[in-house]
């Protein structure tokens, strides 16, 4: 993996990791390149061709669905949780500068000594994290949020390395990579849920940096306009709704449209290809990801039915234990609060407008209750 570090050429060489792949389609931690990854923006033409020929196989993405659980569901049912679950902030509210002392032996100390932050992202979420020019320079809202966290730690740009995170994967999911120390944080359109903050695979979250909704994506109607269907309207119709394997979206489809309506795919990007090939009738995931799919294919659109559930995205950090808290967690939360309050060119509002190509309707609010998961 190539480190983006503006200090010296020596640092750039020093912080280059190796790339490994599994030939059986299990994607491990690896760098991105035009030959090994499918960038989201490159999918449109390929999928359109697949649709026209009718014989091509679905294109595989890198797990862009935020609903995918890192591994198997938590052993016990999650209990309701609210804003207190993500309220950790840096003592005193003022972050330490790059030269100010931080707890010895903590995560921040380790990051400083390493001289760069390791952030987990993916490269197949259009507008959030992708590599449109195949230059190994990822861009998007998640990427810029991660860069802002590195800037808060080091006081300048350039001290960050990106690694792939594949949701719903026991090896490359957020929990596994955080727990094994392969990444310091994940900024990966990951929904804050009570299940992800409880149980054996406990992860810590910042307050929300983005709020989205679960909706349905379908081909345009015969009149060329978005269809009106909601999930419940598809029950008993024989229509198939695609969602990411082992995701919370699958449970929602089962409850509202019925067991027979569920079609599970390894990645949400597969669902778009399947929809374009006519093998499924709809895709169900978060509105933010569906908006990216719409931008890639003008023949599909979110339906006009009301959203199913609010989905707050958070920055994921490692949870150790109540007796040994991760000092990166309150640092990130305070840095995020500062970013949201910043009205300058590098503040949350301007990053949102630039990366998501529309001004924000408001600031991300902390919900009274987080989704159970």
Q: Tell me the pLDDT of the chain averaged across its residues.
A: 81
The better pLDDT of the pair 36, 89 is held by 89
Question: Is it the case that residue 331 has pLDDT exceeding 60?
Answer: yes
92 and 187 part of one domain: yes
Given a contact cutoff of 8 angstroms between Cβ atoms, the answer to whether 30 and 164 are in contact is yes
250 and 325 part of one domain: no
pLDDT band for position 30 (cuts 50, 70, 90): very low
The better pLDDT of the pair 247, 352 is held by 352
The reported pLDDT for the residue numbered 75 is 52
In a domain, 367, yes or no: no
Please state, in angstroms and as integers, the Cα–Cα distance from residue 372 to each residue in 78, 196, 283, 317, 353, following that order.
6, 9, 22, 19, 30
The better pLDDT of the pair 258, 15 is held by 258
CA dihedral 206→210→211→214, nearest 10 degrees, is: -100
336 and 195 part of one domain: yes
Sort 92 into a burial class: Cβ within 10 Å, 0-12 / 13-18 / 19+: exposed
The reported pLDDT for the residue numbered 323 is 82
171 and 299 part of one domain: no
In a domain, 371, yes or no: no
173 and 267 part of one domain: no
Instruction: Tell me how many degrees the CA angle 30-193-283 measures, rounded to the nearest 5.
Output: 70
166 and 221 part of one domain: no
262 and 322 part of one domain: no
Task: Give how many domains the chain has, as a whole number.
Answer: 2
15 and 143 part of one domain: yes
103 and 166 part of one domain: yes
317 and 175 part of one domain: yes
Given a contact cutoff of 8 angstroms between Cβ atoms, the answer to whether 181 and 174 are in contact is no
The reported pLDDT for the residue numbered 182 is 96
The reported pLDDT for the residue numbered 168 is 62
**Per the structure block, which two tokens stand in for 121?**
């992202």
18 and 122 part of one domain: yes
In a domain, 47, yes or no: no
Q: Which among 86, 90, 87 has a CA at the least distance from the CA of 100?
A: 90
How many Cβ atoms sit within 10 Å of the Cβ of residue 241?
29
Distance separating alpha carbons of residues 41 and 52, to the nearest angstrom = 19
Query: Average pLDDT of 259-275?
Result: 90
- Alpha helices, H only, the chain: 9-14, 43-53, 107-114, 141-154, 174-179, 248-257, 268-276, 287-296, 328-341, 348-356
Q: Which residues constitute the domain of residue 98?
A: 3-34+65-71+80-211+312-356
pLDDT band for position 126 (cuts 50, 70, 90): confident
In a domain, 288, yes or no: yes
In a domain, 335, yes or no: yes
In a domain, 319, yes or no: yes
Given a contact cutoff of 8 angstroms between Cβ atoms, the answer to whether 334 and 90 are in contact is yes
Query: Average pLDDT of 270-287?
Result: 94
290 and 325 part of one domain: no
Query: Average pLDDT of 100-111?
Result: 96
Question: Is it the case that residue 206 has pLDDT exceeding 70?
Answer: yes
Sort 156 into a burial class: Cβ within 10 Å, 0-12 / 13-18 / 19+: exposed
In a domain, 53, yes or no: no
Indicate which CATH number applies to the domain containing 330: 3.40.190.10
The reported pLDDT for the residue numbered 125 is 84
- Output the DSSP codes for 26-78: ---S----TTT---GGGHHHHHHHHHHHS-PPPPP-----TTB-SSSPPSSPP
Question: Is it the case that residue 360 has pLDDT exceeding 90?
Answer: yes
The reported pLDDT for the residue numbered 328 is 97
> What is the rounded end-to-end Cα distance, in angstroms, of the chain?
32
pLDDT, tens digit, for every residue of 142-185?
A: 999 999 999 999 999 999 999 998 876 788 889 999 999 999 99
In a domain, 43, yes or no: no
């Amino acid at each position: 993996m190539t480190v983006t570090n503006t200090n010296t050429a020596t640092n750039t060489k020093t912080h280059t990791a190796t790339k490994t792949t599994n030939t059986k389609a299990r994607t491990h931690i690896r760098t991105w390149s035009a030959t090994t990854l499918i960038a989201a923006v490159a999918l449109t033409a390929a999928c359109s061709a697949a649709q026209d020929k009718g014989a091509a196989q679905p294109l595989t993405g890198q797990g862009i669905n935020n609903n995918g659980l890192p591994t198997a569901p938590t052993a016990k049912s999650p209990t309701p949780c609210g804003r207190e679950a993500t309220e950790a902030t840096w003592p005193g509210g003022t972050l330490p500068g790059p030269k100010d002392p931080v707890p010895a032996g903590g995560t921040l100390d380790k990051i400083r000594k390493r001289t760069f932050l390791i952030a987990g992202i993916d490269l197949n979420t259009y507008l959030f994290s992708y590599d449109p020019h195949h230059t190994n320079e990822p861009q998007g809202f998640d990427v810029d949020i991660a860069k802002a966290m590195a800037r808060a730690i080091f006081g300048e740009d350039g001290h960050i390395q990106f690694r792939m995170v594949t949701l719903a994967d026991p090896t490359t999911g957020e929990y596994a990579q955080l727990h094994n120390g392969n990444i310091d944080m994940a900024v990966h359109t990951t929904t804050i849920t009570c299940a992800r903050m409880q149980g054996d695979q406990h992860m810590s979250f910042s307050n929300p940096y983005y709020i989205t909704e679960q909706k349905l994506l379908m081909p345009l109607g015969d009149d060329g306009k978005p269809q009106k269907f909601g999930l419940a309207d598809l029950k008993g119709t024989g229509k198939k709704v695609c969602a990411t394997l082992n995701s919370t979206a699958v449970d929602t489809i089962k409850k509202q449209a019925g067991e027979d309506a569920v079609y599970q795919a390894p990645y949400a990007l597969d669902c778009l290809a399947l929809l374009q090939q006519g093998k499924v009738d709809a895709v169900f995931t978060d509105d933010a990801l569906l908006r990216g799919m719409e931008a890639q294919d003008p023949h599909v659109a979110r339906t006009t039915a009301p959203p199913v559930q609010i989905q707050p995205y958070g920055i994921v950090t490692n949870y150790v234990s109540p007796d040994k808290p991760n000092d990166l967690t309150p640092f990130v939360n305070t840095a995020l609060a500062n970013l949201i309050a910043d009205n300058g060119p590098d503040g949350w509002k301007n990053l949102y407008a630039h990366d998501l190509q529309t001004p924000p309707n408001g600031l991300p609010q902390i919900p009274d209750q987080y989704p159970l998961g």
